[in-house]
């Protein structure tokens, strides 16, 4: 008997406490899924402004000057102050080893700026202005939607409708009808991924990273730009009682 207790304890521990129990009456367990296509309406520009110089004051002055130039540039496009996020200055010394001695090669002063553009029609002109101003060597852009919550809710509702339809089709093959839901979850508690517990929803869209000094823009025409579509997926796992 002294070996039985550890074995039982091990068995109990192997069952996750968060697993959804199944009802003792007839039921059907289904996964509902949905994929929606939406047009992005927002773009985020991320610029890194940095300068390395042995003279710390000169490096800071350069970064501050380009930061002011950036603010003046984006004001022309009607971008509000709440759509501009600027980090504090980051200052760090840089060294290299010469003759087994650490030698200061410069002071790296940097700042990151995130700009939210809510009118995508302004993208070509804004990008051209940022490149022409030579504010940063690297400009990262990311397309998204402003109201993610509403879009996610719409995808989840569509996934629930799909789950109900699947359950009704399965029940009909057995001469049954679908009753009330016993449990609804965003997590596949009965699959191998139950230990991760990641919500089953995902945004898939477009982003780009580009070198500003390598962008070729036509001087007399705007940059060709098509935002395309984004996709959002959602899955739900539902247990329905059968009648």
* pTM score: 0.66
| Residue 118: inside a domain | yes
Range of the domain at 185: 23-41+145-218+227-243
Counted domains in the chain:
2
In CATH, what number is assigned to the domain containing residue 108? 3.30.70.2970
Q: How far is CA 146 from CA 42, 43, 117, 231, in A?
A: 6, 9, 10, 14
Instruction: Compute the distance between CA of residue 30 and CA of residue 205 in angstroms, rounded to an integer.
Output: 28
The reply to whether 68 and 96 lie within a common domain is yes
The reply to whether 96 and 172 lie within a common domain is no
Nearest to 28 by CA among 134, 178, 131: 178
The reply to whether 66 and 186 lie within a common domain is no
| Of 86, 112, 144, the domain-final residue | 144
| Residue 112: inside a domain | yes
Yes or no: say if 36 and 205 are a contact pair by the CB < 8 Å rule. Answer: no
| Residue 52: inside a domain | yes
| Residue 13: inside a domain | no
In this predicted structure, what is the pLDDT of residue 48? 94
The reply to whether 131 and 167 lie within a common domain is no
Average pLDDT per consecutive 10 residues, the chain (243 residues; last block may be shorter) = 40 43 91 92 94 96 95 93 92 92 94 95 93 90 91 94 96 96 85 48 52 40 70 93 95
The reply to whether 168 and 242 lie within a common domain is yes
Instruction: Compute the distance between CA of residue 14 and CA of residue 16 in angstroms, rounded to an integer.
Output: 6
| Residue 11: inside a domain | no
The reply to whether 169 and 211 lie within a common domain is yes
| Residue 78: inside a domain | yes
The reply to whether 152 and 242 lie within a common domain is yes
């Amino acid at each position: 008997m002294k070996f039985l207790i550890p074995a039982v304890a091990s068995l109990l521990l192997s069952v996750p406490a968060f697993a959804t129990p199944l009802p003792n009456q007839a039921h059907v367990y289904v996964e509902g899924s949905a994929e929606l296509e939406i047009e992005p309406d927002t773009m985020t520009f991320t610029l890194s402004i940095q300068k390395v110089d042995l003279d710390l004051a000169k490096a800071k002055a350069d970064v501050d000057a380009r930061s002011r130039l950036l603010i003046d540039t984006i004001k022309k496009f009607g971008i509000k102050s709440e759509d501009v996020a600027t980090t504090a200055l980051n200052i760090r010394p840089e060294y290299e080893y010469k003759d087994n001695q650490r030698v200061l090669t410069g002071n790296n002063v940097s700042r990151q700026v995130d700009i939210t553009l809510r009118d995508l029609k302004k993208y070509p002109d804004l990008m051209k202005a940022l490149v022409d101003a030579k504010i940063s060597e690297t400009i990262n852009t990311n397309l998204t939607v402003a109201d993610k919550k509403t879009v996610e809710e719409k995808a989840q509702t569509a996934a629930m409708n799909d789950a109900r339809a699947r359950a009704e089709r399965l029940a009909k093959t057995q001469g049954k009808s679908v009753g009330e839901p016993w449990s609804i979850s965003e997590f596949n508690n009965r699959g191998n991924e139950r230990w991760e517990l990641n919500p089953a929803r995902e945004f898939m869209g477009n982003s780009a990273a580009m070198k500003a000094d390598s962008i070729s823009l036509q001087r007399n025409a705007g940059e060709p730009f098509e935002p395309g579509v984004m996709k959002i997926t959602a899955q739900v796992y539902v247990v329905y009682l059968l009648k």
